[in-house]
Amino acid sequence: MTSRSSIKQQIQRVREQAIVVAVNRLLATKGYDAMTVDEVAAEAGMAKASLYKLFTSKEELAGAAMVGVLDRALAFVDGLRDAAREAAEAGSPTRPLDQLKAVTRWAMQTQLEGEMPSLPAQNSNLSASLQSNDAYMDRLIALSNRLSIWITEAQTSGQLHAALPPELVLYTLFARACDPVVALLKESGQYTNAQIIDWVTSTTFDGLAAAR
Amino acid sequence: MTSRSSIKQQIQRVREQAIVVAVNRLLATKGYDAMTVDEVAAEAGMAKASLYKLFTSKEELAGAAMVGVLDRALAFVDGLRDAAREAAEAGSPTRPLDQLKAVTRWAMQTQLEGEMPSLPAQNSNLSASLQSNDAYMDRLIALSNRLSIWITEAQTSGQLHAALPPELVLYTLFARACDPVVALLKESGQYTNAQIIDWVTSTTFDGLAAAR
DNA sequence: GTCTATAGGTCGATAGAC
DNA sequence: GTCTATCGACCTATAGAC
pLDDT in tens, B13-37: 888 899 999 999 999 999 999 999 9
β-pair partners for A209: B160
Instruction: Determine which of A39, A95, A122, A195 to mutate to test the interface with B (most B C-beta atoms within 10 Å).
Output: A122
Instruction: Supply the pLDDT for residue B10.
Output: 75
Stronger pLDDT, A11 or A81, i.e. the higher one = A81
Per-residue HEC secondary structure of chain B comes to: CHHHHHHHHHHHHHHHHHHHHHHHHHHHHCCCCCCCHHHHHHHHCCCHHHHHHHCCCHHHHHHHHHHHHHHHHHHHHHHHHHHHHHHHHCCCCCCHHHHHHHHHHHHHHHHHCCCCCCCCCCCHHHHHHHHCCHHHHHHHHHHHHHHHHHHHHHHHCCCECCCCCHHHHHHHHHHHHCCHHHHHHHHHCCCCHHHHHHHHHHHHHHCCECCC
A2 pLDDT band, cuts 50/70/90, is very low
Distant-in-sequence, close-in-space partners of B89: CB < 8 Å, separation ≥ 6? none
Dihedral of the alpha carbons of A120, A126, A129, A132, in degrees to the nearest 10: 30
pLDDT greater than 50 at residue B63? yes
Helix (H, G, I), strand (E, B) or coil at A156: helix
The structure's pTM equals 0.93
Instruction: Supply the pLDDT for residue B12.
Output: 79
Average pLDDT, chain B: 94
Instruction: Determine which of B26, B168, B179 to mutate to test the interface with A (most A C-beta atoms within 10 Å).
Output: B168
pLDDT in tens, B130-144: 999 999 999 999 999
pLDDT greater than 50 at residue A1? no
Please tell me the least confidently modeled range out of A2-16, A41-55, A74-88: A2-16
Instruction: Supply the pLDDT for residue A149.
Output: 98
Instruction: Supply the pLDDT for residue A5.
Output: 54
| Proportion of chain B above pLDDT 90, given as a percent | 88
Instruction: Supply the pLDDT for residue B104.
Output: 98
Instruction: Supply the pLDDT for residue B122.
Output: 82
Nearest to B209 among A118, A124, A161 (CB): A161
Contacts of A204 in chain B (CB under 8 A): 207-208
Instruction: Supply the pLDDT for residue A212.
Output: 61
| Residue ranges of domains in chain A | 57-206
Q: Does B90 touch chain A (CB under 8 A)?
A: no
Question: Could you tell me how far CA A203 lies from the centroid of its own chain?
Answer: 20
Contacts of A210 in chain B (CB under 8 A): 158-162
pLDDT greater than 70 at residue A80? yes
Interval B170-191 mean pLDDT: 97
pLDDT in tens, A126-183: 999 999 999 999 999 999 999 999 999 999 999 999 999 999 999 999 999 999 999 9
- The CA–C1' separation of B44 and C2, in angstroms, is 22
DSSP A160: B
Neighbours of A24 (CB within 10 A): 22
pLDDT in tens, A91-129: 999 999 999 999 999 999 999 999 999 999 888 899 999
A4 pLDDT band, cuts 50/70/90, is very low
* Whole-number Å distance between alpha carbons of B62 and B60: 5
Average pLDDT, chain A: 95
Contacts of B123 in chain A (CB under 8 A): 31, 33-34
> Nearest C-alpha of chain A: how many angstroms from B70?
19
CATH class entry, domain A57-206: mainly alpha
Helices A166-177 & A96-112, crossing angle to 10 degrees? Answer: 30
Helix (H, G, I), strand (E, B) or coil at A86: helix
A120 and B184: CB-CB below 8 Å?
no
Interval B116-128 mean pLDDT: 90
Q: What angle do CA B184, B168, A27 make, to 5 degrees?
A: 55
Instruction: Supply the pLDDT for residue B2.
Output: 52
